[in-house]
Every structure is written in structure tokens, then in C-alpha cells.
Amino acid sequence: MEAIILAGGFGTRLRPLTYTRAKALLPILNKPMIHYLINMLPKEVDKVILAVNYRKDQIEEYLKNNNFGKEIIVNDEPEPLGTGGAVKFAEKHVTGSFLVLNADIICSLNLDNMIDFHEKKNAVSTISLWRVENVSEFGVVDMKDDGNVIGFVEKPKPEDAPSDLINAGAYFLEPKVLDYIETGRLVSMEKEIFPQIITDTEKFFGFEFKGYWIDVGRIQSYIDANKLLLKNQKLKYYEGNDCEIDGELSKSSIGSNVFIGNNANLGSTIVFDNVKIGKNVVLNNCVIGENCRIGDHSNLKNSVVGDNEIVIEKTVLDNKMVWDQPVPHGYPKKQIGNVIGE
């Protein structure tokens, strides 16, 4: 069985981190996000198709150096084709019913159970569903009691919402879904293809799961995902190899070769590899990119520092993005494809 992992987005809401790396490679407890996703695939999946575009070389390199015990195909789109176009572009590798997963979810979904559900319902498409409180930020499903989805409502007011269940970014699809997607253009699976399948087949089902789910789309949800996995693993903090820590860390994760100076204090923070954090530095709810230096006595809150940046001593930042380098050529100024708001 094949699984297509959609990993070609620019991840604009995660800039400046995504100026220099693919979103799927952002580290959580010092392992790329995609590591968790590939490890959650059922045994039955013997072929993983990575639908890539932006920063594809980095993804290819990572997969070449890590053995997941499955055949991995890096399917390189000539240009971003959107969530639907990317699936169509992978058609040549698909041999039967197949999984599609967004590369940016961290969750406890049991895909075997979802596949069983799909087969029992004789479905054409099954979509994973997650229950939320804030329906007005999401596309919500309108669904019958037996799980048959009859429509989606985008960002409804709470009183108008047909349910509190949203698309969790994992699907199990029959090959005939591919016939609905036009070749060679930007197509959104969620906005264009799913509504058509609902109308035409009436065999579109929703599979709710419990446990945890985070869509790592924004800096805050990225930090939250890191904290969630720390909690699941009952860790106060996580450190990579060859670190020197002379300060306090809580709910934080640091990469390899990180130096943390005397009396520094890190809370709810992610630090990438090769970083030097000076003495008396306070970091709260921050992300610090690779090869950064944070000067002594600095105090950063709710802020993100891109790779290779230097923050001079005694800097105070709240809710800021640090990026003093050129934005990579071709990087979009705003979201493309599924615009979900910043």
C-alpha cells in the first residue's frame, strides 16, 4: 500500500524558520517532524511517496540518510501544485487504495483503525476528524450520525456550525478519487475535490479519533507540539548531543552542540543545533534557529530567530521575528493554495 505525504508547501506562516528549511524538517525533540509521521504509518504501507517541491534537496538528503524500512520515493513537482495537484502528480506510483497525509501534523491517529472503518463503510474517501472548541477558525464537517459527510462549512460562527469536527489532515482514498483531479494545475483537495466527491458518490466518510492532534502550521502550534511530546515522554526538557548547559530549562528542547550560559533561563522554547546562548539570558516561548548567538542579558519572549542570526547582548524582544538576511528568491510573500489566515 502507498502513502503520499504532502511536504511541498512553503510553510509561510512558519517564517523565518522556513526561509532556510522545509517545514517537514523542523525539529521536534530534535527529530524532524516527518520522522514521527513516517513512523506512524501502518505496516501494510510499503511505499511512501513524498510529494515535494520547496527545499526538496533537504528532504531527499534526510531520507537518504535514515532508514525507515519502507521504499521511499521523492516525487518532485515542477511547481507547487497544491494539496490536490500533488496527489494527482503521484498517481503513477499508486497501485490501489492509498493514504494521504499532511506532513505537518503531530497526532495520535491510528491509521489501521481508519482503514478498517473505510473498508466497513465501503467508502470512496475517508477523512480523519478532530474535535475542536474554536470552530470559527476551521473548515467544519457536516456529517450524519453514521459518519457520512454531507458537506464542509468554512469558518462558521459557533451558532451556525453543523458540528465541532474538523479535517485533521489524513485521508484514505480509493484510486477513483484521482479521476476528479485535473493534471498540471494548482488544485486544493479540501476546497475543490472533496466537495465534488461528496456530491457525486455519497461515499465520503469522517473518522473521528481521540488522543492528541496538532497542526504545526504556526510558530505557536510548533512550540505547543514540542511541549506535548515532552509531556508524553514525561520529560522536563530534551537535549541533543554535546550540549553544555549552565542554566535552567523547562518545557524546552535543544538541539546538538548547544551552549547555554550561566543563569540563563529557557521556558517553552525550541533551540536548534549549534547555538550559543549567553549568560543571564531569558527565553520564554521562543524558537531559536541553527547557528544562532544570543548575547548575554538578553530577554526574548514570544519571538522567533531565524537560522544564522546574531542577537546582540541586552536585547529585549516581545513578539518579534528576527531575520536580517535576504528572503530566498521565489519565496512567496503570502500563503498560496489553502489560505487559512495568519
Per-residue contact track with ligand GTP, 74 to 103, x per CB under 6 A? ---x--xxxx--x---------------xx
Shortest separation between residue 160's beta carbon and ligand GTP, angstroms: 24
Cβ-based burial of 57 (10 A; exposed 0-12, middle 13-18, buried ≥19): exposed
What's the sign of the alpha-carbon dihedral 69, 117, 149, 211? negative
Residue 233: all three cell numbers together: 515522554
Which single residue is written with the C-alpha cell 525539529? 27
In whole angstroms, give the CA distance from residue 29 to residue 106. Answer: 12
Residue 65: all three cell numbers together: 540518510
Shortest separation between residue 5's beta carbon and ligand GTP, angstroms: 8
Between 82 and 147, CB nearer to ligand GTP: 82
* Among 2, 3, 12, 33, contact with ligand GTP (rule: CB under 6 A): 12
**56 with 76: CB under 8 angstroms?**
yes
Interactions with ligand GTP, residue window 275-334 (CB under 6 A): none
Shortest separation between residue 21's beta carbon and ligand GTP, angstroms: 12
Shortest separation between residue 109's beta carbon and ligand GTP, angstroms: 15
Interactions with ligand GTP, residue window 17-46 (CB under 6 A): 23
Report residue 193: phi and psi, to 5°: -85, -50
Q: Is 220 in the site for ligand GTP (CB under 6 A)?
A: no
Between 9 and 278, CB nearer to ligand GTP: 9
Between 85 and 147, CB nearer to ligand GTP: 85
Between 102 and 315, CB nearer to ligand GTP: 102
* 3-state SS class at 56: helix
Shortest separation between residue 161's beta carbon and ligand GTP, angstroms: 21
Rounded-to-10 torsion of CA 4, 7, 9, 12 = 140
Q: Which amino acid is at 233?
A: Q
Report residue 214: phi and psi, to 5°: -135, 130
**23 with 6: CB under 8 angstroms?**
no
Q: Is 217 in the site for ligand GTP (CB under 6 A)?
A: yes
Between 225 and 254, CB nearer to ligand GTP: 225
Q: Is 166 in the site for ligand GTP (CB under 6 A)?
A: no
In whole angstroms, give the CA distance from residue 169 to residue 102. Answer: 5
* Among 8, 147, 206, 261, contact with ligand GTP (rule: CB under 6 A): 8
Counting residues that bind ligand GTP (by CB under 6 A) gives: 25
Shortest separation between residue 328's beta carbon and ligand GTP, angstroms: 14
199: Cβ–Cβ under 8 A, 6 or more apart, which residues? none
> Which residue ranges make up the site for ligand GTP (CB under 6 A)?
6-13, 23, 51-53, 77, 80-83, 86, 102-104, 217, 335, 337-338
